[in-house]
Structure 1
Amino acid sequence: MSDMAKVPTHYRLLTTLKAIGPYLREPQSEEGYYVFDCLSVCVNDKKSPEKREFWGWWLELQKQGEVYQARYRKGLYDISGEWQDETLPKNVIDDVNRTQEAFHLKLVETMQSEFAIQIEMHEESVEFV
């Protein structure tokens, strides 16, 4: 069996990545590049749903040779539906870190067990501590 036969197709990867949880942004993803995000904590849940903003994280997972590099960032998902690289308030850090850590463990485990694909942290990835 050649190495090429082991490489999952884009659609097989999409199906597997979607199964990890509600994080995959399929319209922004393409072969070798997958976007995920998590709206961890609502900024103000008294606002109507279409006006809510969220603290959370987003991930760009990009193929680099035989591995995928994970570049995480955290910040504010604003009212226009865009991520802003902003410092998290102290009261939401634990929740954001918890959702990111749980997702990352699942991602690494799934990619390794399903496809024998390694996940490495990108040098510009933020630390979740």
Structure 2
Amino acid sequence: MSEAAKTPTHYRLVAALKAIGPYLRETLCKDGAYHFDCLSVCVDDTKSPEDREFWGWWLDLTLVDDQFEATYQIGRYNQTGEWILESAPKSAVSEINRTQEVFHEKLVKTLSEKFELSVSIHDDSVEFV
């Protein structure tokens, strides 16, 4: 495999990562560091849409040598658009885990098939069961 194929450009990576779904936060990405998140469960769906908060996960994906390290966290996405590291209620955990697992499978498959890059879970990553 050529060196160019092993180290794709930032723009090729962004295009491939965007194709996975609505998770990539392109404005928070830079070369070698990519940010994703997923609003899995509404905290209180009786509130108006602009006042809603969500339980979910976020991911910082960092290129280290020839592989990516994934650091996942779980928490609450607040009204001001910030993630708060916080334990989700039991009623939300299974859906958060499901969306994270589905996403992670797509991420690994995309990076492996398109670029022959692997993904490892960082030690600081939250454990999904």
Give the letter for the 1:122 counterpart.
Answer: H
**Counterpart-to-counterpart distance in 1, 2:2 and 2:98:** 39
Give the letter for the 1:93 counterpart.
Answer: V
**Counterpart-to-counterpart distance in 1, 2:19 and 2:123:** 27
**Counterpart-to-counterpart distance in 2, 1:109 and 1:5:** 16
Equivalent residue of 2:19, what SS? helix
Residue-by-residue CA offset, 1:52-106 (whole Å, 9 max, x unaligned): 0000000000011111100000010011100000001000000000000000000
What are the residue-to-residue correspondences of 1:1-129 with 2, within 5 Å? 2-129=2-129
Post-superposition offset of 1:6: 3.3
Residue-by-residue CA offset, 1:22-56 (whole Å, 9 max, x unaligned): 00000000110000000000011111111100000
Query: Identity, % of aligned pairs?
Result: 56
Give the letter for the 1:18 counterpart.
Answer: K
Give the letter for the 1:6 counterpart.
Answer: K
| RMSD across aligned positions (CA) | 1.0
Equivalent residue of 1:119, what SS? strand
After the TM superposition, list the runs of 4 or more consecutive aligned residues in structure 1 that deviate by more than 3 angstroms. none
Give the letter for the 1:106 counterpart.
Answer: K
Give the letter for the 1:50 counterpart.
Answer: E
**Counterpart-to-counterpart distance in 2, 1:37 and 1:102:** 13
**Counterpart-to-counterpart distance in 1, 2:71 and 2:125:** 4
Q: Check the 8 A contact 2:5/2:115 in 1, yes or no.
A: no
Q: TM-score, normalised by structure 1?
A: 0.97
Equivalent residue of 1:21, what SS? coil
Q: TM-score, normalised by structure 2?
A: 0.97
Q: Check the 8 A contact 2:6/2:117 in 1, yes or no.
A: no
